[in-house]
Chain A
Amino acid sequence: MERKTKIDAEDGKQEITITREFDLPVELLFSAYVEPDIIEQWMGTKVLKLENKRHGSYQFETTDPKGNKHRFHGTIHDVNTNQKIIRTFEMENTPFDVQLEFLEFEKLTGDTSRLVMHVVYRSVEMRDQILKLPFAQGINMAHNRLQDVVNKSR
């Protein structure tokens, strides 16, 4: 069964909720967030630093197709194994302010689980800008599916 990611972004609010159900036991879902070699695989990033503990911190680095390196980092506020991670997230060398993330891992059945990411931004404007980022990048990419939709409507 295909499970879909849902984004709730109410107008005029400085927060969003990302919800996704997985065909995975909650323990495995949680491992994907705490084991550096696994994070590297699914996030497509290099893990420079990751301390999964209260008052810990992390720093990841991605390399775009042009070879430019982008780093992002944050502070781990709290970790509760198989239940929650509270952390900040900030893209380095961008005009975007830090955001606060509440990740809640929930057991549904023995083999299924749910992740709810509640993300709080500094302002409504900042949230909307960040939400539009992939949209703007999509328009710039020739082979993006969105480009076709936009072109057809012109």
Chain B
Amino acid sequence: MKTRRDIFQAIADPTRRAILSLVALHAMTPGAIADSFDSSRQTISKHIQILTECQLLQQEQSGREIFYHFNAKKMKEVADFIEPFRTLWDDRFNKLESIMKKYKPKK
């Protein structure tokens, strides 16, 4: 059984994507993240929780504060998910092109 949240669902939400792009610039406390949005702290906190569960955000304790870091490695994994599909078609089309370059139309 899959209990962990789907990472693709996580990045499908515009607010969560906005949080990621903020935190990608520099690590932030949950309060600072929430201050950047009009939504309630509770709502933003829920978004942060989802992103953390998917490992797109990582927590780090610094003194009394918790900072959230952006996990670029995890993001790269997601960004690449469509790449094998693209490569599959690219390989096929490359083959098509090289075959047709040698092809002499039947007259």
User: Which residues of A pack against B, CB within 8 Å?
Assistant: 3-7, 9, 11-12, 18, 20, 22-24, 27-29, 31-32, 38, 41-43, 115, 128, 131-135, 137-138, 144, 146, 149-150, 153
Contacts and interface: CB of A to CB of B under 8 A. Distances in A.
Interface residues of B, number: 27
B84 A29 contact: no
Interface of B: 8, 12, 73-74, 76-77, 80-90, 92-93, 95-97, 99-101, 103, 105
B85 A41 contact: no
Contacts, number: 81
A146 B81 CA distance: 9
A22 B93 contact: yes
Contacts of A11: 12
A43 B93 CA distance: 9
Contact of A5 (B74, B76, B86): B86
Contacts of A38: 99-100, 103
Contacts of A146: 80, 83-84
Shortest 7 CB-CB contacts between residues of A and residues of B: A153-B73, A134-B84, A5-B90, A42-B96, A138-B84, A42-B95, A28-B100
Nearest to B72: A153
A1 to B, nearest CB: 11
Nearest to A30: B100
Given A38-B103, A42-B95, A128-B8, A18 B83 contact: no
